[in-house]
Amino acid sequence: MKGNAKKILTDYDVKKKAVKLVVTYLKKKVSKDYLGSEHINDWLVNMEKLINKPDFVLSEYLEMKKQLNDVIERTLDEEMRFKIRDSWYSFGKALDKKTKLM
């Protein structure tokens, strides 16, 4: 019976998984050597800590989205700013995800 048991996903599980994917793609997009890159790198470290927490508190994720917007505002490199902004939009969509009804 153990092998056949499926975990029932909650909306929070789906949101967390989607956010994790956004963060993974953001890491790949962001180059490490541009002026002000310490802001996004600090944000990524804090985001990883949040993702690794066992619980999902939506207000904490919304605060991280707000902080990501602040990072965008402090990013001088135009190309990087657009890449981060795209991820900011994806982050918002990830927080809107819900489980699929069967």
Give domain status of residue 102, yes or no: no
Please report which confidence band the pLDDT of residue 2 belongs to, taking 50, 70 and 90 as the band edges: low
For residue 1, the model assigns a pLDDT of 44
Lowest mean pLDDT among 26-30, 57-61, 88-92: 26-30
Q: What is the pLDDT of residues 50-77, one digit of tens each?
A: 999 999 999 999 999 999 999 999 988 8
Structural domain count, the chain = 1
| CB neighbours of residue 34 within 10 Å | 14
Global confidence as pTM: 0.85
Residue 5 lies in a domain: no
Q: Could you tell me the residue range of the domain that residue 81 belongs to? A: 10-95
Contact in structure between 90 and 15 (CB atoms under 8 Å): no
**CA 55 to centroid of chain Cα atoms:** 15
Kindly state whether residue 4 falls inside one of the protein's structural domains: no
**Cα 14 to Cα 98: distance, rounded to the nearest angstrom:** 6
Is 2 within a domain?
Answer: no
Residue for token pair 């001088």: 76
Question: 61 in a domain, yes or no?
Answer: yes
Question: What's the DSSP call for residue 38?
Answer: H
